[in-house]
Amino acid sequence: MTREQCPICGHASDILGEKVSQFLNRSFQLRRCSSCLYAFIGDPCLDYARLYDEAYYRGQGADPMVDYVAELEAATTIRDYEWRGFLNIVSHVAAPIAGKKWLDFACGNGGLVRAGRSRGLDVVGFEEGWIADHARAAGIPILTRDELNGQAGQFDVITAIEVIEHVAEPLEVFRLIRRLLKPGGIFYAMTNSAVPFRDSMLTWRYVRPEIHIGFFEPENLALALRATGFDVKWPGFLEPYADVIRFRVLKNIGAKAPAAWHSLVPWSVLAPIVDQRYGVSSLPTGVAT
HSE at residue 189, side-chain half, CA atoms within 13 A, is: 29
Give the H or E element holding residue 81: helix 79-93
Residue 30 located in a structural domain: no
Sequential pLDDT tens for the chain (289 residues): 789 999 999 999 999 999 999 899 999 999 999 999 999 999 999 999 999 999 999 999 999 999 999 999 999 999 999 999 999 999 999 999 999 999 999 999 999 999 999 999 999 999 999 999 999 999 999 999 999 999 999 999 999 999 999 999 999 999 999 999 999 999 999 999 999 999 999 999 999 999 999 999 999 999 999 999 999 999 999 999 999 999 999 999 999 999 999 999 999 999 999 999 999 999 999 999 9
**Partners of residue 126 on adjacent β-strands:** 105, 143
pLDDT score, position 2: 86
Cβ–Cβ under 8 Å, residues 103 and 153:
no
Distances (CA, A) of 196 to 88, 97, 288: 26, 32, 29
**Partners of residue 17 on adjacent β-strands:** 30
Sign of CA dihedral 260, 264, 265, 269: positive
Residue 247 identity: F
Instruction: Identify the CATH number of the domain in which residue 232 sits.
Output: 3.40.50.150
Q: In which order are the strands placed within the sheet that holds 142-143?
A: 142-143, 122-126, 101-105, 155-161, 181-190, 285-288, 230-233
Q: What is the pTM of this model?
A: 0.97
pLDDT score, position 246: 98
Q: Could you tell me the residue range of the domain that residue 271 belongs to? A: 47-288
Residue 64 located in a structural domain: yes
Residue 138 located in a structural domain: yes
Per the structure, the count of domains in the chain is 1
